Structure 1
Amino acid sequence: MGAFNIFSLVFLASAFIAQSNGAINRFIPMWCVDLHALPNGPTFDSTKDVMQACVEGNTCIGFKKISDNEYRLLYALTGYTFNETSRDYYLWDKTGGKTFPNQPNELDALILFAIYPLIECPASFGIDGSLCRGLSSISVNYLMLLF
């Protein structure tokens, strides 16, 4: 639990900023977290370029550092796992500052808004009646706790 609290402090203390059409978009470094997302598209040689491409495309969820000076856009987030050595993922903060009363940590709202950017079932998830079911560790019951 102590390691998670340290992660929370690092997580909240740092953010990359991109600007688009006068709007400010935050990309949060996901230290100690691997995002379950699909890398796609060309590679970029700077964080500024990859953030701008993500904001302009509007469907990406963030980006991944794939080498010292190469980055790739990420799409279709389905979940995450903790990995103490990971420093490669950056998540686009689409929460607009919104949090939920029962969210266990600061990461949950960011992940929720990245998985469901339009409050619809992501393409990589299956629809079971009125439920949206994915193959990740995030379950419908878990999401219900946040509301």
Structure 2
Amino acid sequence: MGAFNIFSLVFLGAAFIAQSNGAINRFIPMWCVDLHATPKGSTYGSTKDVMQACVEAGTCIGFKKISGNEYRLLYGLTNYAFNETSRDYYLWDKTGGKTFPNQPNELDALILFAIYPLGECPVPFYVDGSLCRGFSEISREICYSYPTYMAPQHDGTNCYVLQKQTVINSWA
């Protein structure tokens, strides 16, 4: 029952909307959720400005409110954690409205599409056979911080995770 209440809080919030080249881009307030992502770059003084910057930034996955009216772009999402008091994160919804019957919970489709913002592998991974291989700078700790549905494995040198479509197929 507690999980239902948390998900209700996550999805009851109104989406923030940004437009770019005629496209509508939704940013979902992630109430009660901390995103494990890196804030980078300049600060922005309004949600409109930070959303526009995110849409133009390629691998941006959303933004974080860092103080009263200051926001920073987020990159490199690895996972999330529930936090009842969190009201600081906004995730760019790249799902196109897609959900999958066997996804672990209501939030995980949003998370999956944010971890894989550009294709079959997370940034900075690349396709290696049927898996995604991370560069050797990805530590064992970071590797195993990815969700278990990505089947993260570290061989002592490199981190490997499933390709996005493989995860989606497992949720079908």
TM over 0.5: yes
CA RMSD of aligned residues (A): 2.1
State the 1:86 CA deviation: 1.1
Counterparts of residues 113-132 of structure 1 (less than 5 Å)? 113-124=113-124, 130-132=130-132
Give the unaligned 5+ runs of structure 1: none
TM-score of the superposed pair, with normalisation by structure 2: 0.75
Cα distance between partner residues in 1 of 2:64 and 2:127: 28
Please tell me the residue identity of whatever aligns with 2:2.
A
Please tell me the residue identity of whatever aligns with 1:7.
I
Q: Does 1:5 align with 2:22?
A: no
Cα distance between partner residues in 2 of 1:68 and 1:85: 16
Per mean C-alpha deviation after superposition, the further-off stretch among 99-108 and 134-143 is: 134-143
Match of 2:145 among 115, 136, 140: 136
**Number of matched residues?**
146
Higher relative contact order (CA 8 A, sep 6+): 1
Q: Which residue number in structure 1 is paired with residue 171 of structure 2?
A: 146
2:116·2:123 contact (CA, 8 Å) conserved in 1? no
State the 1:53 CA deviation: 0.5
Task: Give the share of equivalent positions with the same residue, in percent.
Answer: 71
Cα distance between partner residues in 2 of 1:124 and 1:36: 15
Counterparts of residues 1-147 of structure 1 (less than 5 Å)? 2-14=1-13, 15-124=15-124, 130-132=130-132, 134-139=143-148, 140-141=150-151, 143=167, 145-147=170-172
Q: Of the two, which has the highest radius of gyration?
A: 2
**What does the per-residue CA deviation read over 1:73-123, in whole Å, with 9 as the maximum and x for residues that have no partner?**
001111111111111110000000111120132211000000012333223
**What does the per-residue CA deviation read over 1:48-77, in whole Å, with 9 as the maximum and x for residues that have no partner?**
110010011131000001011110000111
1:44·1:50 contact (CA, 8 Å) conserved in 2? yes
Cα distance between partner residues in 2 of 1:83 and 1:131: 32
TM-score of the superposed pair, with normalisation by structure 1: 0.87
